[in-house]
Structure 1
Amino acid sequence: MYNIVIVEDESIELESLKRIVSRCVDNAVIHEASTGNKAIQLIDNLGKIDMMFVDINIPLPNGNQVIEYLKQKNTDTKVIVTTANDDFDIVRHMLSLKVDDYLLKPVKQSTLTETILKTLQVDESKANETRELRQTIADLINRCDYPGWHTFLFSALDAASSGHACSDEHPKAMIDVLELTQQHLASLGEKFVSCRNHIAAIVQTMHQHKVTPHNYWQIMNQLLEVSHALFELMMKSISGNMDFVARARFHIESNLLNNITLDDIAARAFVSPCYLSRAFKKSTGAGFSNYITTRKITLAKSLLQFSDLKVNTIALELSWQDANYFCRIFKKETGIAPSDYRRIVSGEAC
């Protein structure tokens, strides 16, 4: 995944650049700024910028000042200057700032494409991985597969958490998932703007603080909230195509942090509790209560391994009656007490 910033105040030029970048870098997240101030805000907010296109003649602070600020923050960013001015003094100053290329407007598409690919040294295998990830995200959301989405999302969060003690790198793979999700939601229309903004806030948190035991539950909770909002919107558009068992699983997933009863879910699935119970087990292979317990235990395992929440706090957050009841259920499901599970998984060496 590449973070690419385009600093351009001419709308036609901006759209042209965005279109060319999107075509030649499949796994790019494109950010735009029409002024120097907006560019500086992006530099401050984005943890990593792979490439920045800068028009020198943008409103103050000008392009030179933006590049100088960027170089103080992130010396690894590739910088491509675009300008209609070929004045030698400007060119010389650009070279002193160690920009990677200097292109005169209007820039030919072939020239720009060649410059982007050469400068970024695009890895085609990684691009393929991104395409597959993009497709997975689209399939889960478009099918309104809420349980599958949570499994996918929290597996990515756990993977990002598992390396926090061994590396200073941001949890890039998780951020890639979230940014690709933003892109997909953008393609679905304006009704998902709030979800996209919520995801952007989570990404910013992860850029600034990574994923640590102290903030793991906060990030998980935010992901649960944005997933709830996202799938409630998706549900409205496809609910007529869902059978009652799928509808029941949807509402279970939507209420994982609540005390879920068969009667409540049956009412939302528009069937009797007795009928739902029989059909649910036949369809999923698990009894209604066991299915809910399994989904909650999955969250509990992650919280025990990656968060610093106490066992009794985890029990309360997942709406179990009390810590003792949670411990009995956890041991019945896993064969081990929560405290022992935490000790074993936390003992894994980096």
Structure 2
Amino acid sequence: MYNIVIVEDEPIELESLHRIIAQCVDNAVLHEASTGKRAIELIDELKHIDMMFIDINIPLPNGKEVIEYLKAKNTETKVVVTTANDDFDLLHSMITLRVEDYLLKPVKKTTLTDTIKRTLGIDEQTTSASSALKTEVLNLLQNDNCTQWHNFLLKHINHAYEQTLAGTEARRNVTELLEILNTYLKSLGHQYASVCSILDELIHEVEWHGLTQALYSHLTLSLLKLSHDIFAVSGNTVGNKDFIQRAKLHIERHILSDLSLDDIASHAYVSSCYLSRAFKKKQQIGLSNYVAQRKLHVACGLLQFSDLKINAIALELAWQDANYFCRIFKKEQGIAPSDYRLMHAPRRH
């Protein structure tokens, strides 16, 4: 996701820029300002701005002063100046402000599109990757595959954290995923309003704080909790799944809760004894071991990327006894949680 700010006091020009940029960049959040004062407010409000389009002749403070203020706070923001004034001295002053480009009005659509792609580094490979991510997210959600959704979430977020720890800025990889999820749920109607509100907050936190250790646990645990509502059980959901699938769905929707055989069986609409025997026969693993493995999959990420203490991780996964959690972890992983953290936590650059 890209944060793009448009600073333009002429309504027609503002509307035209908004439309062209929205068409050019699929995963963009556009912010608008018609005065220099509002532009400065946006600079203060938004932790990260990828690109700013600014008319140099906006009302005070003028465009030059806004750019100076922006550059003092965020030197990484790309700035493109738009103006109807073809003045050499003005052009020279833009160079000293380290702006990326200088466009004369009226700006042609092709010129603007080329400038955006070049400035943001958007190429066919980036566009293709974004499209593939959207397709994968929608397939998982529309196929009601909560288990694979959780696997995908953890893999995607963990990879972004690995990139961050290696020195590569990767917060956009996470915000893009959250934006795709958010947009899809909003399209389904008001019943997901509370979920979308939480997603909006998570997007803001990732943009504001970046992929920090402290954010990892909040981000991943919040997304796992949201699955309870995203994969809400309906009559169609029950009718289209066999009892093993219903059991797995219940486990994933309550992966952070204390899960008992009786509780899982009641939501699978079979007896506890029958579920226990059939699950082991079909899945080649006992139900309690399966639940433990699913929880430990989450625990591994928390140990590797978060700053949560081991007893806190146990509690988040509904193991009240940290010693029991450690025994289960060592049995499944062959190593104690503390040793796993030391062995797998990547070095921070």
On whether the aligned pair clears a TM of 0.5, the verdict is: yes
Partner of 1:144: 144
Cα 1:54–1:190, aligned 2, differ >3 Å: closer, same or farther?
Answer: farther
**What SS class does the counterpart of residue 48 from structure 1 fall into?**
coil
**What SS class does the counterpart of residue 4 from structure 1 fall into?**
strand
Partner of 2:271: 272
Please give the residue correspondences for 1:288-327 in structure 2 after superposition, counting only pairs within 5 Å: 288-327=287-326
Partner of 2:124: 124
What 5-or-longer segments of structure 1 have no aligned partner?
none
Give the drift of 1:303.
Answer: 1.9
Give the drift of 1:64.
Answer: 4.8
Residue deviations 1:127-163, cap 9 Å, x none?
2112111211121222222221211112222223335
Give the drift of 1:86.
Answer: 4.0
**What SS class does the counterpart of residue 231 from structure 2 fall into?**
helix
Please give the residue correspondences for 1:71-90 in structure 2 after superposition, counting only pairs within 5 Å: 71-82=71-82, 85-86=84-85
Which sits farther off after the overlay, 248-257 or 217-226?
Answer: 217-226
Aligned-partner Cα distance in 2 for 1:80–1:193: 36
Cα 1:189–1:73, aligned 2, differ >3 Å: closer, same or farther?
Answer: farther
Aligned residues with identical type, % of pairs = 47
Give the drift of 1:300.
Answer: 1.6
Aligned-partner Cα distance in 2 for 1:5–1:255: 40
Query: How many residues are aligned here?
Result: 345
RMSD (Å), alpha carbons: 3.5
Give the drift of 1:13.
Answer: 5.1
| TM-score of the pair, normalised by structure 1 | 0.81
Q: Is the 8 A contact 2:163 2:170 kept in 1?
A: no
Partner of 2:342: 343
Q: Is the 8 A contact 1:171 1:210 kept in 2?
A: yes
- Quick one: which amino acid aligns to residue 116 of structure 1? I
Please give the residue correspondences for 1:48-127 in structure 2 after superposition, counting only pairs within 5 Å: 48-55=48-55, 63-82=63-82, 85-86=84-85, 97-99=97-99, 100-105=101-106, 107-127=107-127
Q: Is the 8 A contact 2:147 2:252 kept in 1?
A: yes
**What SS class does the counterpart of residue 262 from structure 2 fall into?**
helix
Please give the residue correspondences for 1:21-32 in structure 2 after superposition, counting only pairs within 5 Å: 21-26=21-26, 28-32=27-31
Q: Is 1:334 aligned to 2:333, yes or no?
A: yes
Aligned-partner Cα distance in 2 for 1:277–1:116: 57
Partner of 1:245: 244
Partner of 2:230: 230
- Quick one: which amino acid aligns to residue 21 of structure 2? V
Aligned-partner Cα distance in 2 for 1:190–1:279: 39
Cα 1:12–1:187, aligned 2, differ >3 Å: closer, same or farther?
Answer: farther
Cα 1:118–1:344, aligned 2, differ >3 Å: closer, same or farther?
Answer: closer
Aligned-partner Cα distance in 1 for 2:218–2:308: 11
Partner of 2:216: 216
**What SS class does the counterpart of residue 303 from structure 1 fall into?**
helix
Cα 1:312–1:74, aligned 2, differ >3 Å: closer, same or farther?
Answer: closer
Cα 1:16–1:167, aligned 2, differ >3 Å: closer, same or farther?
Answer: same
Q: Is the 8 A contact 1:327 1:337 kept in 2?
A: yes
Aligned-partner Cα distance in 2 for 1:197–1:158: 23
Aligned-partner Cα distance in 1 for 2:6–2:245: 43
Cα 1:315–1:197, aligned 2, differ >3 Å: closer, same or farther?
Answer: same
- Quick one: which amino acid aligns to residue 44 of structure 2? D
What 5-or-longer segments of structure 2 have no aligned partner?
none
